[in-house]
Chains A and B, each alone.
Chain A
Amino acid sequence: MNARGILLIILFVAVIVALTPVLGGYMARLYEGRMNWLGPVERRIYRLCGIDPAREQHWTGYAMALLAFHMLGALVLYGLMRLQAHLPFNPAHHVAVAPALAFNTAISFATNTDWQNYGGESTLGNLVQMAGLTVQNFLSAATGIAVAAAVIRGFSRRSARTIGNFYVDLTRSVLYLLLPLCLAGALVLVWQGVPQTLAASATATTLEGARQVIALGPVASQTIIEHLGTNGGGFFNANAAHPFENPTWLLNFLYMVAIVAIGAGLTNTFGRMVGDTRQGWALLAAMGVLLVAGAFACYWAEAQGNPALHGLANMEGKEARFGIAASTLFSTVTTATSCGSVNAMLDSFLPLAGMVPLVNILLGEVVIGGVGSGLYGMLVFVLITVFIAGLMVGRTPEYLGKKIEAREIKLAVIAILVVPAAVLGLGAVAIVTGAGQAGIAAPGPHGLTELLYAFASAANNNGSAFAGLNGNTPFYNVTLAVAMVFGRFFTAIPVLAIAGSVAAKKMVPPSAGTFPTHSWLFVVLLVGIVLVVGGLTYFPVLALGPVVEHLALSAGTLF
């Protein structure tokens, strides 16, 4: 660790804190319907699609619309991949993507996971990259934000039957938030060196006379939404480590800001819409504590160097222009949020440093989290926290003036339990079956870590990987896709049900016995609950994976 690396973390936190109220205020105006500078375009889209923007939906209608929209989206993406050989914009003449891989990729992008079992430049044509992946990058991000907006309305309304209109929230997220930011952002990317062309490749003759085919494409337009929308699926196989996706140190920094900006901003939007910005800052503080702790832990652990090579700096799987500090911060940020793009190969991190991204994901993607999904995931933990605090003093728990009762707690517990069930259940199946074992590349405890990481990443919709695992087999393509669907929809639907339920409640004025949820005491409790739930669930398997590997490596054992 050195002063420059520590300065980088501090600078990053400062930029995020400064941006949060700006974006938060903008999104609050957006989802309260007080913004319409694109009114004519917006109204035209609604007319064209037969959507009545004034008609709000009950939570069940909202959830149905979300499901229908995603099933269709995944279906179209699947079709595009299977038929790409017969479609235009395929200058490199890529053939149809195999069924299991196309299924996995379609689910992966529709659920905002963006797990990469495909090698971008060697598998997918420009039409799939643009009309398939880029579209789902926008839509899955917009959906996450839409659900968050609906949940926020649930807490801010009283005695209400509806929580908004899914199609309107989705359209407004794309039109007012994602598209303008991406248009401007993509040009910054190109300025820094990210290609944006319809050509598939350029051919060079190197100084030593070899022929080098350099894959190109519309990279910038996809890479900006990949980060801003916490998607993470890259244009190239090497993702954001590829010098065309991430050519400079400065752009790497801007990517980290883009990954966190909307998720952090939404905490502020939440605060504004429920009428008390302190509530938003308390959520951000809890997230921030976990994020900064992770960033320092990862940086410290990785800076130790490889003991098997006498402490030689661990540059394996890292790019020279980023170095150790920016590689570990990026990895922490991309896994704390559900982005999952990588600028260094996590599989080659030292065991304890690699455990930080894994733990970030296992905590349920609530440390900032995915755009929207991070906020509503954290709100689920908030309900558990006020419930436990209520039990301690023997009062009915309240949050923001809403009584939290058995129904909400049951739904919250479902949302919290679905993901570990998918991770540990499917992971166990993979460990005991031949098809699962066949994909594990690394011998010893590292192999277990690779496997655990794959299911954790899929079920929490992160999408980053310990890429040594060979996930492109029918077994993993299907099981990982199942994990992604569970993790995305079986958390979003209970959360929408909570939103519908609290929206219908009356506001109870705060009394002397109300536990204030904007205090540091609450932040500490919330962080504690997140850690205890995650820790109790996953400690045994973490002990068998990265912890054992660390101890073995320190003792000089290689695998």
Chain B
Amino acid sequence: MLKELRPALSLLAVMTVLTGLAYPLAVTGLAQALFPRQADGSLIERGGHVVGSALIGQSFTRPQYFWSRPSATTPPYNAAASGGSNLAPSAKALVNAVKSREKMLMAADPDAEGPPPADLVMSSASGLDPDISPAAAEWQVARVAAARRIPPRTLRRLVAAHTTGRFLGVLGPRVVNVLKLNLALDARWPMR
């Protein structure tokens, strides 16, 4: 065993320097040079202040904004402690939470058609989902349009412009980035 220790120990030291320091620092240098915006977290600024990250969702509660999905982190959309609810589909706690969210949303959006789509009443895996489905955006159009006093048809066009395409036109779901959509809302129809 002792004979084995020298190469083991020195190789561990060499590999720690190589893969634990040289490699991540080299990647950091290259990433910062080639893709500085992404490397720093895809932060979005408005008027010189950081208002969030394009990839990290945030909580919206005002009727003038599109709302994000429920988040299981404490407090919701805590970007320093991600996580999901981990509730089983057979858990009373989950079924009750979904039903009360449905009730809450339908009270806030009396003009919306039908029950809210699944992603608006079920919490995401990370608790930081930046997106909602196009159906979830459409479901909220009536409320936001009324709160901003704009015609729903105009608002739908804005939502459509902020809906991503599928990969190669076929694969993957289409989504709407809530923060970007709300920023566009503010830019076009500033709140008084």
Residues of A within 8 A of B (CB): 4, 7-8, 11, 45, 48-51, 64-65, 68-69, 72-73, 76, 119, 121-122, 130-132, 134-135, 138-139, 167, 170-171, 174, 179, 182-183, 186-187, 190-199, 201-208, 210, 212-216, 218, 220-222, 225, 236-238, 241-244, 247, 249-250, 253, 306, 308-309, 312-323, 326, 342-345, 347-351, 441-444, 446, 466-468, 549, 552-553, 557-559
Report B-chain residues with C-beta under 8 Å of the C-beta of A553: 89-90
> Which residues of chain B are near A132, meaning CB under 8 Å?
20
Determine if A320 and B183 form an interchain contact, defined as CB atoms under 8 angstroms apart: no
Measured between beta carbons, the chain B residues less than 8 angstroms from A174 are 15, 18-19
B155 part of interface (Cβ distance < 8 Å): no
CA distance A527 to B126 in the complex (A): 36
When the two chains form their complex, are residues B85 and A207 in contact, meaning their CB atoms are under 8 A apart?
no
Which A residues touch B39, using CB under 8 A?
190, 195-197, 220
29 A-B contacts, Cβ less than 8 Å apart?
A119-B83, A122-B80, A135-B16, A171-B11, A179-B18, A179-B19, A190-B27, A201-B80, A205-B49, A206-B52, A206-B58, A207-B51, A207-B179, A207-B186, A214-B43, A218-B28, A238-B126, A241-B126, A243-B129, A247-B42, A312-B122, A317-B122, A342-B125, A348-B84, A442-B91, A466-B86, A557-B90, A558-B91, A559-B88
Q: Identify B89's interface contact among A69, A218, A348, CB under 8 A.
A: A348
Stretch of B2-10, B103-111, B146-154 on the interface side: B2-10
Q: Which residue of B lies closest to A61 (CB)?
A: B4
Note all chain A residues with C-beta closer than 8 A to B117: 313
Nearest CB on A from B171, distance (A): 6
Q: Name the interface residues of B5-51: CB closer than 8 Å to any CB of A.
A: 5-12, 14-16, 18-21, 23-24, 26-28, 30-32, 34-35, 38-43, 49-51
Is the Cβ of B125 less than 8 Å from the Cβ of A195?
no
Complex formed: what's the CA distance from A46 to B161 in Å?
58
Of all chain A residues, the one with the shortest Cβ separation from B186 is A207
Given known A197-B41, A221-B23, A315-B118, contact A242–B128 (CB-CB < 8 A): yes
Contact with A along B111-140 (1 / 0, CB 8 A): 000000111011111111111110010000
The reply to whether A319 and B81 contact each other, CB–CB distance below 8 Å, is no
Beta-carbon contact of B27 and A131 below 8 Å = no
- With A196-B31, A558-B91 already in contact, the answer to whether A313 and B7 are too (CB < 8 A) is no
- Residue among A50, A203, A236, A549 having the largest count of chain B Cβ atoms under 10 Å: A236
Check B89–A350 contact: CB distance below 8 A: yes
Contact of B23 with A179 in the complex, beta carbons under 8 Å: yes
Most buried by B among A132, A249, A315, A442: A315
CA distance A49 to B6 in the complex (A): 7
State which of B52, B78, B133 has its C-beta within 8 Å of the C-beta of A320: B133
Q: When chains A and B are docked, how far (Å) is the Cα of A196 from the Cα of B26?
A: 10
Q: Which residues of B contact A206 (CB under 8 A)?
A: 51-52, 58-59
Residue from B54, B82, B128, B129 having most chain A Cβ neighbours under 10 A: B82
Residues of B within 8 A of A138 (CB): 15, 19
**Size band of the interface chain B makes with A:** 35 or more
**B-side contacts of A195, CB under 8 Å:** 38-42
Q: Is the CB–CB distance between A191 and B84 below 8 Å? A: no
Contact B171 A316 (CB under 8 A): no
Chain A residues near B190: list those with CB within 8 A. none
Task: Return the CB mask of B58-73 against A: 1 if under 8 Å, else 0.
Answer: 1111100100010000
Q: Is B94 an interface residue (CB 8 A)?
A: yes
A-chain residues with CB within 8 Å of residue B182 when the two chains form the complex: 207
- Give the distance to chain B from A191, nearest Cβ to Cβ, in Å: 5
Chain A hits for B6, CB < 8 A: 49-50
Quick one: which of B159-192 are within 8 Å of A by CB?
A: 166-167, 170-173, 175, 179, 182-183, 186
Chain A residues contacting B158 (CB-CB under 8 Å) are none
Known A-B contacts A138-B19, A206-B59, A208-B62; the reply to A446 vs B91 at CB < 8 A is: yes
Asked whether, in the complex, the Cβ of A183 is within 8 Å of the Cβ of B125, the reply is no
CA of A544 to CA of B164 in the docked complex: distance in angstroms? 43
Q: Which residues of A contact B57 (CB under 8 A)?
A: 243
- Extra A-B contacts (15), CB below 8 Å, given A187-B30, A347-B87, A552-B90: A171-B11, A195-B40, A196-B32, A197-B28, A202-B53, A207-B52, A222-B24, A238-B128, A243-B56, A312-B121, A315-B118, A319-B125, A320-B173, A444-B90, A558-B92
